[in-house]
Structure 1
């Protein structure tokens, strides 16, 4: 009906192009004027012979106001006025936009890319075939028909767009409409995945405005576009509204909402979008507008399918799109990957964002923004977007087309049949909850949940519940801490130690200061404001019900801590609720290992947040891992070992017995270097073997095949699935079987490696206890508890066997009755094919026929010379080759349908069996976890041995830990020829130094360090702390000798910086860090302070420095290195036996006034800081330097004079308090030198 109307209009108007309708409506049937949308040439794309109404992708624009403004429409004035009155109210609400950028106008501003106008001649589209179809007008009245016709884009009704040839999967219409002949199991496309993976590594566009060249382009000519004031007014209103929305709390808290507003302003006007997505109509599921503080950006209001708005927007509410909106309305703050056939599709705002970051091509015209990519590239695109801070929801097909047909066929009469297959959310990807191996790095992927409970008894006092979960390993750490003030140093320290990928919190619950701190961390952490927390009473019930639902007993540590801390209880409940929304809570409950970490209990050396950054333990100041202590020590081979090393660095030990156990193990590896290298070579060999056994299509890094923690977790999580869920076009269940068998082989290989390396009798004679425990080897035999695991892996491996082709793993016959019965039925069906071939052969009176599997399965291939009259009546030609034709009969098609259905059911029957296999594995979980833990620890110990054995940069020594009984009750530290390990590695001829605190050559606990700028003071301070950390993780120390008592805490105050985002000045930051040291350090702590007081005046800085050093040396009495350029401190502590002066040596050339840094740490005070010499090195103009020298001399003289006056004043006050002359005489006699010095200074 619509086509006929267009043809009539076209014939009436002829070639006249001044009409707006003719501008929007290329002449149907005219090659000259045919639309070029979706094509590179004017040749129309031929229609698919099997095409039918595609309910999946209706791609029409609904543009009302634009056509109504055309004065050349040949309708009566009365009807037009009536239509305008009824429509303009709706027009203002819908705010439809033209494809070129302006709303409801005839003159536009074309999209620009890199400052150039975009070409409006045509658009190149790729991807699979998409049909444009029209809404049915059969049930509408004449005026409504007229209105709907005016709304449509006439140049896009009958055209088809071809997708890229690489998309060989079924079309959307074949999937949800024409389901006959649909193949279910399509193999893994390795080439396509590699191509996509390479593509997404290209440069990311900077913003939406750079996308002009890849937007769908209008067929309109710019010369034919007219200006309209109403359009400009609408755009200005939209821009003002956009600015208002960008200032709301929703835009500040939700990345996707912010991008939504920006996209709508920049390129949204190029598309016809549904009314509920327009900026002026956007609401959450409760109808709240974004300007309201209660607005929830995670939801969007969508009309019900039977509502008037849905009917008016029918092109956006097809059966499949109805499924889309039903899911999108609950996940508006996430990108929705909507599965259609072999491809994931993104629509509307999601398409804008994904196209921007992933450079995907548009696969539709401007009527419905739409991009997509193949199933095999899911992890690549999802990972790219998650790294950028987005959350991704994956919607999968939950049935095959055959299952849809069977379901409709078996439905009762009167029940409406579904036109679209079932879909549901199958996965949710966020930064802290990734579980797919291809999307993970070697490091831990931690989700942290924070909940703050303010104490009523004290002001600014909080109880804080912290839950840290690594879903990939099942480890969950519960932390309960108390904080006073607004610094939250313990929270900051835990965040710095754990380095979470994502933090979930309740909006309004987290104090602003910590929220600002978390938002400023680099690399950034994904902050998730999760609204579904509950109070402590409901939280306890919530936790109990979560465990009871899966019939898992509540762990003792969870029960104890939740009864103890309301904040922790709320945090754990919030974690479970959040994980439930991303479908991972059950996995955590089934595989979780819950432990407690109590910062107040001294099980580990506490390294606070400042020390982790200042000492560059995990990453350098430039943000790279390579030049950090972690990078220096990281020679681990397995991902589990890498994660464990990082934890050891941030949580060093304080128990000397455990430290010495590690040191003894490292020493054993060093003394048995052949075993060290043999073990590491064996691990690498296993790594290569495991990678070659995996599927060729896998892009997994080799090291991830040795990630035993995650491997165990993945297998154990299979307990949760006892039936097929989503439909994939690669054989997922067979890959799971392969992974299971390969895992058993991998565990066997590791066990054999341990026995080969550590099992011989000679090696075990002097093997430390820790190594004996880790290898599971007893003193009387080469076989220990690990050997028993061989029997377990063999039993699990015996549950499956290879099929008759020796290709796929299947259940052992007799173990799975359902599988056996289906397999037997399939074999019988295949025999029926043979019977059918014999029947056809007899009918055709020839034996020259056979089955071929080319375009379709079981095609009958026969010579072309056989007369067609001898063919079966139901023969349907399917393909041909030279001299031969191939055909199907009705009988063969029915047999093929039955065969494919049974094969689908056969694949489904494997899921319950895989579930049973995983349960068997889970029953032996403790044995496999012991192997994983052993390999990780052996990997770290061998890595530390590899570092310690390398003396190319200088000697490494085994640290000796002393008890306080051996040091007269004093904490001590003694390092000889100490080096900074990272700096020594980077620079040749590193100068080693001796550092002693409370030792023989330096009996004081504190050292006051002076010296020139760039002389090496900060390096000395840092290397002292790093040596202690290396010693207490069980590593050799970069020195020729190391003796110390255990350090319980390390504090640092280094550098000068402000925290603008937190509103803190440089001096305030200095004082907060100093306060933390003074309030929390103990006698056994190690403190380094570098140039305290630089953020304020010299006098204030001097006073604070003196008071701080006095408090540390006399009250706390801990080991301390205190560097300064304030030489008044040296005079102040010149007679203090608890503070000894040291300085960095240098050589001064008196003639040239140049200095040479000697980098030697020696006793005494450096007379000057030689700042002018450093200024010369920095290139400061000589005139400025000369002026500075003169000013410095004057300032120094004035300062000295003031100090002498102060001393004289003090002396006179001492004289005046004497009560008789004899005492005054005695005082002058005893203080003769001081009196003379004061008189000289005043003269």
Structure 2
């Protein structure tokens, strides 16, 4: 088949397509973006628009689809959500001035991690682009992440590759850059980021990365950024900057100061703890009801919402910032009317961070400018509400008010400049108010009232020429003209220029009429051009004030954050926690905020809990559904809430600071990684035992339940012993279990105390009292819980019969001795029981050898050989 001959336009399309492999190419043609070939088929299918063809009558028609340029954003958003990358190819010269084919170029590449438009973003969540690098030869690596929509970026250097992946999973960027050949470890395969593989040499070169980073931050050396000796983190930063250069096709000087993550400042919550405690998402992966975020979020602005997200991911570790935040929250908590007024004003403040970013990048729409104007008009109202308040109890709020920048100058300019409802497209005109620019006023007057100006000129000529039947007309050949009857031909003045002779009249133009016509006919285009120029000048003025916008965005975010926490505390009747640097935890009438939100305050039964030097490990027993997991999570969540500066759901709470919170709760598997429920459980337990410190808070739920009874019981027992022995005195731990044998450890392990969730039997059923009381549970009530869950009655009755027989057998002395002997042999913590054997057996050589055997010093081969030797001796 002969090669298809393509038009110059399609050749231009394919040229840009070749330069941007892997991208859908949106090709600007007049007022539309068009796509061709495979891209057209992909987009038509993905966003459900009509697929047509450029040459339908041809033997091989070229598939095409398109959409108007002014309504393209929703389609771009859908495609980005589906994981596509998009190259925007715009016309870079005026088609009216083009000689031949209009010049085009790719002006930017849209990817999930680089978008700035609101339609593609969650207003109260950051949208990160991440980069990962690990040098196995140096056993060191770094990760960096940037929110391009706000300009905030950070990173972490570590010698543990697993730790870097844990943080990457916690940050959960929309898009992750990896060197070609690298892989996401299997245990992090559930990472929802879109992975983009890039060339290591071009993106992760240390020299290029250093130069780009220093230039971006306007510093002379890496010491200024705290990156000296952290080449792997520098490489990750370089990958981000290189990727942004390639996708944004221009300057991105809006990036803020790079601040490496300081782990020493924050309470560390790994991704497993975030998931298990359902801080941002429920265990089923969904957001909204059932998460701590949903209960706490009473913020009114996007900036305040993102600050809340950041604090929840990285709570404070030290007392000073926690107390300062609590002081600010208390200030609003105690002033109900002020809080109501502040909330009302904040509701009119839009996203100052992202608005200023779009303005700086030249991507702001007229709607963005109107939103910015509304926000700036609200700032003086906020300031007025705060003026005159006594900030002695909350000095951080006082500093904000004292350094307030109302940006009145910019608010005044925007108020004078823009109409209330500007058109969506900058080049359509109609953006500016009258009075903003004298030349524009004249063009607006001509465009909107040109006919009136012509009538004025007509009346003037009538008065000066005294020709009674002087008419004003228009046709497409001559344009506007004056028509004079031949009867008054002699009265025509000299400045009338004849253009056409008719049977009964003559048609004339005048210099003034021609000038007026030219101005009227061109006024529309001139107005659009001038408004576009004025819009760009206004954008540049606002872009130059970006630092002022960011300062006020931070100020508003802190106000919003504190009032939001105060609102949540007031609505839910929470109390201010008493924070201290000791190890004690005392909670009176504590509640789980998320469970209470779901059930209602009247349906939740509060409980007390105390942990101190004598109660470092709390062993909690009780039946399923009684609320053991709720108690565990409740203590962890109250600790996290307190360390972000929030009030907590309790009558009173005295909480010792934690440096980390670990959780091992629930039962889940990971079949994609080949991990069973028990394997996941043991992996999470291993992480806790290796990383927990004396100041950590650990919650463990049902350790060892995924394997056989004795294996699981032994593991649970050993874990308790290890936690009690760690950190020179034990780690604060809440341990829920169904292994009642563990309750015997109270009195044997220092600092361990038994607690149980109280239940009451009533006419063969059980009633959950939801109270945490001292002592071990007397039984598990598993059959009763099964009955409540709806297990068929025959199964329940049969289970009771079997249980009765098993309990009857356990009363037999011989059986009881056998069970006791097995337990004492298998369970660590007990001495070996006396062996009841005959005198002959006591003197057997095997017994002698076994007594003297050095088990730790034997190799597996030696052990097998010895067993074989004993076997032969027994045969003899």
TM-score by length of structure 2 reads 0.80
Equivalent residue for 2:352? 708
Conservation of the 8 A alpha-carbon contact between 1:977 and 1:1040: yes
Structure-2 change in CA distance of 1:1131 and 1:1008 (3 Å): same
Q: CA deviation at 1:444?
A: 3.3
CA distance in 2, matches of 1:906, 1:790: 26
Equivalent residue for 2:229? 564
Q: CA deviation at 1:544?
A: 1.8
Q: CA deviation at 1:456?
A: 2.9
Equivalent residue for 1:938? 559
Conservation of the 8 A alpha-carbon contact between 2:203 and 2:242: no
Q: Is 1:495 matched with 2:169? A: yes
Conservation of the 8 A alpha-carbon contact between 2:24 and 2:39: yes
Equivalent residue for 1:1142? 755
Secondary structure in structure 1 of the residue aligned to 2:143 = strand
Secondary structure in structure 2 of the residue aligned to 1:335 = strand
Q: CA deviation at 1:896?
A: 8.3
Secondary structure in structure 2 of the residue aligned to 1:1057 = coil
Equivalent residue for 1:399? 93
Structure-2 change in CA distance of 1:1014 and 1:509 (3 Å): same
Equivalent residue for 1:223? none
CA distance in 2, matches of 1:1205, 1:920: 81
Equivalent residue for 1:849? 472
Q: CA deviation at 1:319?
A: 1.8
Matches within 5 A, 1:300-339: 312-314=3-5, 317-339=6-28
Q: Is 1:990 matched with 2:604? A: yes
Q: Is 1:349 matched with 2:38? A: yes
CA distance in 2, matches of 1:813, 1:402: 27
CA distances 1:88-145 after superposition (whole Å, capped 9, x unpaired): xx4xxxxxxxxxxxxxxxxxxxxxxxxxxxxxxxxxxxxxxxxxxxxxxxxxxxxxxx
CA distance in 1, matches of 2:143, 2:501: 71
Q: CA deviation at 1:452?
A: 2.9
Larger fraction in strand = 2
Q: Is 1:1094 matched with 2:768? A: no
Secondary structure in structure 2 of the residue aligned to 1:1094 = coil
Q: RCO greater where, 1 or 2, for CA within 8 Å and sep 6 or more? A: 2
Q: Is 1:768 matched with 2:377? A: no
Equivalent residue for 1:981? 593
Conservation of the 8 A alpha-carbon contact between 1:504 and 1:527: yes
RMSD: 4.3
Q: CA deviation at 1:1035?
A: 1.2
Structure-2 change in CA distance of 1:1106 and 1:339 (3 Å): same
CA distance in 2, matches of 1:1214, 1:1049: 49
Matches within 5 A, 1:513-524: 513=186, 517-518=188-189, 520-521=190-191, 524=192
Secondary structure in structure 1 of the residue aligned to 2:756 = strand
- 2:832 is aligned, of 1186, 1191, 1210, to 1210
CA distances 1:268-310 after superposition (whole Å, capped 9, x unpaired): xxxxxxxxxxxxxxxxxxxxxxxxxxxxxxxxxxxxxxxxx7x
CA distance in 2, matches of 1:858, 1:1113: 101
Q: CA deviation at 1:899?
A: 6.4
Aligned length: 789
Q: CA deviation at 1:837?
A: 9.6
Matches within 5 A, 1:358-507: 358-364=47-53, 365=56, 367-404=61-98, 408=99, 418=100, 420-456=101-137, 461=139, 463-483=140-160, 488-496=162-170, 498-507=171-180
Structure-2 change in CA distance of 1:544 and 1:810 (3 Å): farther
CA distances 1:538-565 after superposition (whole Å, capped 9, x unpaired): 43334425764x8x61387786455422
CA distance in 2, matches of 1:822, 1:1136: 89
Q: CA deviation at 1:453?
A: 2.0
Conservation of the 8 A alpha-carbon contact between 2:619 and 2:743: yes
Secondary structure in structure 1 of the residue aligned to 2:832 = helix
Secondary structure in structure 1 of the residue aligned to 2:316 = coil
- 1:580 is aligned, of 235, 245, 261, to 245
Structure-2 change in CA distance of 1:1215 and 1:559 (3 Å): farther
CA distance in 1, matches of 2:97, 2:752: 83
Structure-2 change in CA distance of 1:993 and 1:974 (3 Å): same
Secondary structure in structure 2 of the residue aligned to 1:401 = coil
Equivalent residue for 1:531? 199
CA distance in 1, matches of 2:556, 2:339: 13
CA distance in 2, matches of 1:398, 1:1144: 71
Q: CA deviation at 1:1040?
A: 0.6
Conservation of the 8 A alpha-carbon contact between 1:715 and 1:918: yes
TM-score by length of structure 1 reads 0.58
CA distance in 2, matches of 1:501, 1:858: 61
Conservation of the 8 A alpha-carbon contact between 1:434 and 1:445: no
CA distance in 1, matches of 2:690, 2:478: 82
CA distance in 1, matches of 2:716, 2:698: 14
Secondary structure in structure 2 of the residue aligned to 1:1179 = coil
Q: CA deviation at 1:835?
A: 13
Structure-2 change in CA distance of 1:353 and 1:847 (3 Å): farther
Q: CA deviation at 1:812?
A: 6.8
Q: CA deviation at 1:1043?
A: 0.6
- 1:611 is aligned, of 273, 287, 293, to 273
Q: CA deviation at 1:744?
A: 5.3
Structure-2 change in CA distance of 1:973 and 1:541 (3 Å): same
Conservation of the 8 A alpha-carbon contact between 1:533 and 1:573: no
Secondary structure in structure 2 of the residue aligned to 1:392 = strand
- 1:808 is aligned, of 432, 437, 441, to 432
Equivalent residue for 1:948? 569
Equivalent residue for 1:123? none
Secondary structure in structure 2 of the residue aligned to 1:593 = coil
CA distance in 2, matches of 1:430, 1:770: 39
CA distance in 2, matches of 1:506, 1:833: 69
Q: CA deviation at 1:594?
A: 2.8
Unaligned stretches of 5+ residues in structure 1: 1-89, 91-308, 409-417, 688-704, 722-731, 777-784, 876-888, 965-970, 1217-1243
Structure-2 change in CA distance of 1:845 and 1:350 (3 Å): farther
- 2:378 is aligned, of 739, 749, 758, to 749
CA distance in 2, matches of 1:1065, 1:807: 62
Conservation of the 8 A alpha-carbon contact between 2:350 and 2:371: no
CA distance in 1, matches of 2:185, 2:749: 44
CA distances 1:770-823 after superposition (whole Å, capped 9, x unpaired): 2112222xxxxxxxx3257445755898899999x9961699769x9xx99999
Secondary structure in structure 2 of the residue aligned to 1:594 = coil
CA distances 1:205-232 after superposition (whole Å, capped 9, x unpaired): xxxxxxxxxxxxxxxxxxxxxxxxxxxx
Conservation of the 8 A alpha-carbon contact between 1:610 and 1:1052: yes
Unaligned stretches of 5+ residues in structure 2: 423-428, 487-496, 503-512, 826-830, 839-876
CA distance in 2, matches of 1:544, 1:832: 62
Conservation of the 8 A alpha-carbon contact between 1:1146 and 1:1158: yes
Q: Is 1:1033 matched with 2:644? A: yes
CA distances 1:504-545 after superposition (whole Å, capped 9, x unpaired): 22221235426xx24x24xx3322223365476x43334425
CA distance in 1, matches of 2:282, 2:313: 15
Secondary structure in structure 1 of the residue aligned to 2:258 = strand
CA distance in 1, matches of 2:577, 2:690: 29
CA distance in 1, matches of 2:478, 2:576: 73
Q: CA deviation at 1:1137?
A: 3.3
Q: CA deviation at 1:653?
A: 1.0
CA distance in 2, matches of 1:1178, 1:831: 83
